[in-house]
Structures are given as C-alpha cells and as structure tokens.
Structure 1
Amino acid sequence: MNRQDYRAAFDAVDFSADFEERTLQKLAALRQASEKEQIIMPMNRVKKTALLIAAAVALLAVSVSAAVVWLTPAQVAEELDNPALAAAFEGKDAIVLNETQTAGDYTVTLGGLVSGTGLSRWYEDADETRTYAVVSVSRTDGTPLTEDNYDISASGTFTVTPLVAGYPPQSVNIFSLDGSCASFLQDGQAYYLMDTQSVEMFADHTVYLAVYQGFVPSYSMFSAAEDGTLAMREDVVGCMFTLPLDVNKADPEAVDAFFQETGLFRELFTDEELAAREEETAQEDARITAPGTYGSVEVIEVPGHGLVTTMQAQAAAEYEAFMERETARLEQEAAAGTLSKADYEAAVQEMADSLAGLWDGTRSPTWHANPDDTEILQTQPSAAALAEQAGSMG
C-alpha cells in the first residue's frame, strides 16, 4: 500500500463522536486496576496488558489527528511525478543517510542521494550521469511550515548546493553544475530535490552538500583552509553535510574538462591569500591615473564611471543587457500575478545594485560562458570587497 492509500484508509474510518473520551476513560480504568492489583501477574499477562494499552494509545493518536509521516527520498520523487527517480532511490545504488543538523531555527535532514544515468524522467534519454539528493527542512520548535511563514521558492529561505573542497565555492556549485532544485511544502515540512551533473567526478576530494540562507555561494559565505577544506562562515545561517562518495568513481579528466568548458577559476584562496591579493590590487590601482595599459590590464575612461578596466566595462555591458531582458520577464510575471510587486521591486533593485557594483569594482561577474543565458549570469563581491571583508573579520 502506498502512502496516499495508507492515509486515505485512515481517513475513511468512521469513529463515533465520543470515541476519544471513551478511549481515555478506558485507559484510566486500566491504570487504576493495575495500581490496585496486589498479586504479581505472570510475565505473559504483563506483556499482554502492555500491548493492549499501547495499541489503544496508538489508535487514539491516529483517530484524533492525522499521523505525521515524513516522506522518504523515493516518496519525494513520487510527489514530483518522477517514478524513474523514485525507483532509483529504492535501488541498491542509492545512499540512505537520514543525517540531521540544525540551521538557525530549523532542523535540516539529508535523506539520501543517488547518482546514475537515465534515473529521472527529465533525463531518461540523456547519456549524462546526474546526482540527485533529497533534503527536508522543519522548524525545530515544531511549528508547521506554511506558505505564510516559509519561502519554498528557488531563491527563498534556503539554497541547496554541492560544494567541493579544493575548489572555489563560486566555481563548483548547483549553478555551474547545470543543476536545479525542485521543492514543495507538505504536512508542515519543506522538501527539496536537488539535481545536478554528477558530483562523483570529484569523489577524490571532500564533497559537501550545503543548505544555507543566501544565493550564489562565494567567499563571503564560505571560507577555505590551507588544506582546501571549506567551512560556512559564522554569520551564515545554514549547515553542511559531507557526502559519502566512492573515491573509485573519481574522474580527474572529467573535472579538467568541466573547468575547461566553463572557463571557471579553479584556484582556491584562503582569507589570508585574499587579503594579500587585495593589497596587490590596491597598489596597482594607486598607480593608475590615466587611460592606458598597465601590465596586462587595459584601462579606459567611461563617461559617468571614470577609469575602469576593459573587463569591467565588458562585464557591465553584458550585465546591463541581461538586466534589461530579466526586467522585462519579471514585468510579465508581475502583470500576470505570478510575482508580487514587492518581489519584483526587490529583484530589480538587486540587479541595479549588481550593475553599479560592476562599474565601481565592488562586484565582479562569476561565470557567464554564454552571456545570452539569463539563468547563469550572476555577480559576486570582487576580490577587493572580499579582502576588505576578510580583514574586518580579524
């Protein structure tokens, strides 16, 4: 019997109006009789009475309110109409974890993960190996999550992404790995199904699954140690799980191809190294007083923005074009009623801030191998801004 039939069967049971009261009275009577009993009962009778009481309590609990049943990874896939993936989560290659951590006021559980080819109905004809992971979130104090108190959208309360030790968080994540995250609320709990390119190619490194409040991961949210391990900064609300991957499935050649195809930066910097790079940048900036070529950097003067590098100008121009397209799309959503006015204004303001940051050097583009793809053009704090932040952290 599947979960829906199971719950429907309980809902169909017709209990009398005084069922709860009569059951409680019966339990009280059993307790009083037990306390008055002076003769030691045989062990089998003790067990029988305990079982009867337990059964009565369980029946009462079911009758008073619907039983809270947390979904398994397979059931999450079923809820998302993905039977092929549901079957994969119940297969021998799936890794069941049920590991729980806290993130602010929330309890986060990594239910399990599975990797393979053709596991999802969305990729059943593809040759690419994908990794899928299921995460559930609930309020630690037991308050049910609803649309009024929890944002389940892709840019909502939590972002779910893989990260890899030894590589910058802004380079290897759900966005760069052609990923997505389906999510929904049910029975007061939030469920996330993450889907990315297979992370098994990084299995010779520590691979994390980060769940945090924020958007594109960067050095402002995660710090790196000298050995390459990543850690969530103290001011970030979230948690990190370590994925138990088979090191034999690592594919260094695939990793090299990934960085070559995306053009992403693969060198990882600690806070101290970021600060040193910022000092070098500051010294270079101090010598730039007019348009020209400084080392390998070309500087031009743009009306309204002063002296900027050609890379800054190009990034700002690309982002401005993206912003124009994205604003038009958001306007359509707002007009259709699928996006609130407040969310529309916040998104437009965020893009305006990013564009201004590209011009003044406080932000830099992350990866945008295809500038026309509105899904991948993002910005992050520049090296200068990150080093300043690292310095303020002490």
Structure 2
Amino acid sequence: MDSADQKPQTQAGNGLVLHRMIAERERKHAPQQCAAAAAVEVSLERAAATALGRAAERLYKLPVYVEKVELSPVSLSELPELLPERALLAVVEAPRDRLGMMAICPALLTSLIEMQALGRLTTRKPVPRRATRTDATISADFVNLLLAELGRELGGRAGCPAFADFRYATYLDDPRPLALVLDDTPMARLSLRFRIGPTGKRDGHLTMALPVLAAAERAGATPATHALAPPGAATPAPPPEPVAPPDLTAAVQDAPIRLFGVLCRRSFSLGALRELGAGALLPLGPNVLDEARLETGSGQLVARGRLGEAEGYHAIRLARRTTGEADAPIPGTADDGLIGDIDHHDPFRPGAGVTALRA
C-alpha cells in the first residue's frame, strides 16, 4: 500500500477519534444539563405553588395543593381556547396601558365565596354558572394578592411578566370580548392546576395571560445624573412656590359636560333615508370597532378608542392621541360658526323678512 492510500485512512481515523471524544464529552455533560433544566422547572413550579398557596392561606385560610404549573408564550387568538369553562375573567392593568387577564374556574370561585361567607367548604359540587359583578368584587382581593405574591416569587425571571405591576381593573363573563379588550402583543400564559380544600376534594384551574416587556422596557429609564456638590457645601433651599392668582379654573373643572360615543357616520340620500324602517340593516365600514370617537355635543373630538365591553356594558377603551393628530371636520357640528358668522347674511334669522328670503 503506497503513501497516497495511507493518508485518507489516517484522516478517517482521526475523524473517528474526534467524534468519539465529542460524544464522550456530551455524555458526561448531559446529566448536568438535564439537572439544570429540571432545577429551573422545579423552581418555577415551586415558586408558583408557593405564591398561590400563600395568597389563599392569607386571605381565606384555604389550603391548595398545586399539581401542575405551565409557563409558555401565548397569542391573543389562541387564548380563549385555553381558558377554563365558565370562568370568571378578571381584567388586570399595569402602567404603560398594559392589560392582561386572569381566569378563575368555577370550583375556585365557589371555594373563595364559601370561605368568605361560611368559613368552610361545603360538600356540594360547584355548579358552573355565569360570573356576576358580585363574584368579581369578592375575588378582586385574591387577584391582587396573588399577583403580588407571584411578583415576589418570580420577579426578574426570564420569560416571566412583571406580575407585581398588575392590579384588578374589571371583569368579563364572556371570553369573546377579549380580542377587543387586550392588545395583540407578546404575552406569557401561566397555568396552574391544583386541588382545593384540606382533603383536596375539588379540582381547580387558574390561568392568566399577561404582556411581557422587552429587556429595554423592563430596565426602564436611567435616572438623570446630577453634579456633585463640594464637601461641606450647604444645600440650597428650594425656591418658594409661586402663588397662583385666583381664577375660574376650579369652577370650570367642575362644570358638567355631556360626551357622546360615535361608532361611525354614514351619508344617505333622502330616498334611502325614507326607506329605512324596523329591521333594516345598515352596513358599516371596515374597522369601525377600532375607530370609535368620543365627542362633545358640538362635535369636537375628545378621544379615539376601541369599542368593547366592561362589566356587562358596552364601553370604549380610549387610545392615546398621536402628536399632531388633526381632527377631521364634521359637517353640521364643530364648524358651524355659531358666533363667528353673526354679522353674515342669514335669511332664516328672525327679522330678516321676505326680502332676505327672495335674495
């Protein structure tokens, strides 16, 4: 065998040795990696279980035994399919106009009500029913305390939302309006399955979905730095606050103003208007639910928002107005010029006479 044949065999042998060394190293490190992943999973489950147990114990002396914890990203479109059936949907809010939700199953809701009203759990099986405003009021303290405990146990963990920033805002008894209430932003879903009561005779399920901030947003703004004063220098006294001259601001602020929610506007011919009757369908333009307007009686635009539902009523969730946003003129309302055209000719003004009408 010549040297040309020996060279490929040598290279192949070296490759086999290298693959064998890599496989041996991966085999040695595999238990450590599995142990680290298991430790993270156990830590997450233990922290969430501790938060739920502490909140239930502190408020209602109610023991819960967590069996399963899941933390995963979720989209707004798939969220309604992951909620418990007939659950109370508590809408929670945080600074920066962030909204999330917490779904409380009927078994847990019934247990909270029984512990608050009777001080014990009954033997009756919880009956699934539509959640009411009273149910939401009773469980609001539990929602707030659970979020605070989750923030204490899971604060700063990668992939977890800022639980402690959220507080109870309102409730929904139907998951369908969630697409209108919540923003379609990256969200994290925390699901807990547990048993309720000293003997664990009830199965509970609690799911929450909260928006997750990016790393830059989580860090927040950096506080401004100030020049250091020389040692021993006296701290200058703050200037006295100027005394505002008396004006009518306070009285004007208390003046009642009637606002109108406008979904959209349509123009009709007189013939089409006369044909309208009971049962007639008026087609609306696209995206009208996202372009609702809040106006004064004279048609002045106050805010824009999205039509939704809150506490069983139709509601408009206001949106921030962008800088420089111009109000579109509305015929017959804001641009009437009720005083500015007082010197103009008006044939319908009292005293104009027949001559003005003929002109």
More helix by share: 1
Give the TM-score category using the shorter length: under 0.3
Q: Normalization by structure 2: what TM-score?
A: 0.27
| The structure with more radius of gyration | 2
| Structure ranking higher on relative contact order (CA contacts 8 Å, 6+ apart) | 2
